[in-house]
Amino acid sequence: MSWVKITAVVLAALLLQLTVFVDVRIAGVAPELMVLVAVLAGISAGAARGSVIAFFVGLAWDLYLATPLGLSAVSFALAAYAVGGFEKTLFSDSRIQVAALTGLATAGAVAAYAVLGELVGQRDLIDDDLVPVVAIASAVNAVLAPGVAPLMRWAVAPFRFAEVRGANG
């Protein structure tokens, strides 16, 4: 069952984020593994299914953050939906394209998180550190994406097949 695979990938990323990567910093910025998984869900499962998966990835991440519940979920879902839409129209699935698209979508998700957070009353999310955080998180996820993408494709493979079959009748 693919939900079991997806849950396993999400829990593995969450455990890595909360244990190994909690102390890993690049210029003071922690890697955003949960955003990476959410974006790759959009790339691998398409806009509709990927955004649902990304929403639940964000919801799992929100349980550990001191920000309003659902903030990551909405930000991740928006990024996954956007990248999933690109994937269908102009994507040939090369490693470079996966990396570039993941970097751009990570930038969008992190920026959306900050903007939405400010809108719901979380102060100090938009400050002088936002641009470096976006740049570093995007670069790290772009580097990690080609290695993690096959795992996400494996997890969502049955969803992908159902989407293709449904589109073709």
Give the residue-averaged pLDDT of 90-112.
Answer: 89
Q: What is the pLDDT of residue 87?
A: 60
137/167: higher pLDDT: 137
pLDDT band of residue 89 (cuts 50, 70, 90) is low
CATH of the domain spanning 2-154: 1.10.1760
Task: Tell me the pTM.
Answer: 0.90
What are the boundaries of each domain within the chain? 2-154
pLDDT per residue as tens digits for the range 41-77: 999 999 999 999 999 999 999 999 988 999 999 999 9
Adjacent-strand bridge partners of 26: 29
